Amino acid sequence: MLKKLGIGAYIACVVVVLTIVSWILYGINVTGSGYFKGQGVPFVVLFSIFAILCEVGAVAIAIFAPKDGTIGKICSFVETALLIGGIVFLMATGMNIISSRAQGLGYIFGADANVAAEFTADDFNSAVMAIVSAVFYLISWLVAVVAPFFGLAKKEEAK
């Protein structure tokens, strides 16, 4: 079964792992102490789940769907749509995190000496974790963009 998978399927699996790591980092940022504690972004968890489901669904179709006939064409279309859906969900997640954290990051890192004295080490750690989680989501998105350029299933050679 794994012999039927192409490079794109393995890249999609990497995207799933990166998305789960990004989701964990985001959870640490929201639940940890510091400036961003309790400041969850509503769609991050939902979009992360959708992105994971899209990538897993595309790989499952590549493994189990028939390749010939009308059903094969429909499955190929759905596979491509799922890959694009995963890209869109990861992009939206990254943009939501960046847009929700930008003002706080500017306030923490751009404050003058008087205001900066109010911040604790936990606030700076929270800000760094916000940046790390956003960067991981963006890396997941970039890797997801690469996957559709490779085939999810190996091309069958004519005998």
Instruction: Judge if pTM exceeds 0.75.
Output: yes
What is the per-residue pLDDT for 100? 83
What is the per-residue pLDDT for 154? 72
pLDDT tens, N- to C-terminus, the chain (159 residues): 667 778 888 899 999 999 999 999 888 888 878 777 777 778 888 999 999 999 999 988 888 877 788 888 888 889 889 999 999 999 999 898 888 888 888 877 777 777 667 777 887 888 888 889 889 999 999 999 998 888 777 776 545
Nearest-angstrom CA–CA distance, 103 and 49 = 26
Asked if residue 26 belongs to a domain, the reply is yes
Asked if residue 116 belongs to a domain, the reply is yes
Asked if residue 93 belongs to a domain, the reply is yes
Q: How many domains does the chain have?
A: 1
- For residue 150, give the DSSP letter: S
Alpha-carbon dihedral angle through residues 57, 62, 137, 145, given to the nearest 10 degrees: -130
Asked if residue 157 belongs to a domain, the reply is no
Nearest-angstrom CA–CA distance, 6 and 159 = 19
Asked if residue 159 belongs to a domain, the reply is no
What is the per-residue pLDDT for 81? 93
What is the per-residue pLDDT for 157? 57
Q: Which tokens is 156 given? A: 């069958």
Domain around 32: 2-149
Asked if residue 155 belongs to a domain, the reply is no
Asked if residue 30 belongs to a domain, the reply is yes
Cα 135 from chain centroid (whole Å): 10
Asked if residue 11 belongs to a domain, the reply is yes
What is the per-residue pLDDT for 158? 47
What is the per-residue pLDDT for 85? 94
What is the per-residue pLDDT for 109? 78
Query: If we measure between CA atoms, which residue out of 61, 75, 55, 64 comes closest to residue 147?
Result: 55
